[in-house]
């Protein structure tokens, strides 16, 4: 997981074999379960439009449906290409607060973020 904010600076964090969090940034240290105070999880969802997918899709679908149904088929192909070119990107964040008033904001996969929340809940 990436450290994207907080009092630790930028870097990375991962779980070690004992279940503690190993922080690698400006300094390297270990966060034990007893040091975790709370964790807040959030997700950001972003809708994006893929221009390359739209161009390829509109050409392919436009030609195929245009040959089958004429001009109306070509227009339907372009509409399907527009609809198929939107995609979502979800980013998962967790803010981990420690007992000594330090804060770490981590960004990673959903499963990793849920591990950090479970780590702080113990």
Rounded Cα distance, 47 and 81, in Å: 16
Predicted confidence band of residue 116 (pLDDT cuts 50, 70, 90) = very high
What is the pLDDT, as a whole number, of residue 28? 86
Percent of the chain whose pLDDT exceeds 90: 81
The pLDDT score that the predictor gives to residue 38 is 93
104 has a pLDDT exceeding 80: yes
Q: Which tokens belong to 21?
A: 């969090």
pLDDT band at 27 (very low <50, low <70, confident <90, very high): confident
Number of CB atoms found within 10 A of residue 92's CB: 19
Q: Return the DSSP state at 35.
A: G
**In the block, which residue shows the tokens 């040091």?**
35
Q: Is the pLDDT of residue 8 over 90?
A: no
- DSSP result, 18-42: TSPEEEESSSEEEE-GGGEEEEEEE
pLDDT tens digits, residue range 33-54? 999 999 999 999 999 999 999 9
Residue 122 has pLDDT above 80, yes or no: no
């Amino acid at each position: 997981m990436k450290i994207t904010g907080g009092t630790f600076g930028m870097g990375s964090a991962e779980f070690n074999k004992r279940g503690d969090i190993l922080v690698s940034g400006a300094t390297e240290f270990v966060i034990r379960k007893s040091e975790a105070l709370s964790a807040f999880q959030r997700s950001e969802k972003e809708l994006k439009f893929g221009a390359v997918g739209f161009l390829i899709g509109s050409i392919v679908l436009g030609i195929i449906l245009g040959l089958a149904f004429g001009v109306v088929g070509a227009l339907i192909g372009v509409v399907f290409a527009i609809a198929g070119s939107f995609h979502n990107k979800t980013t998962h964040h967790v803010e981990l607060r420690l007992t000594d008033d330090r804060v770490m904001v981590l960004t990673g996969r959903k499963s990793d973020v849920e591990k950090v929340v479970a780590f702080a809940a113990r």
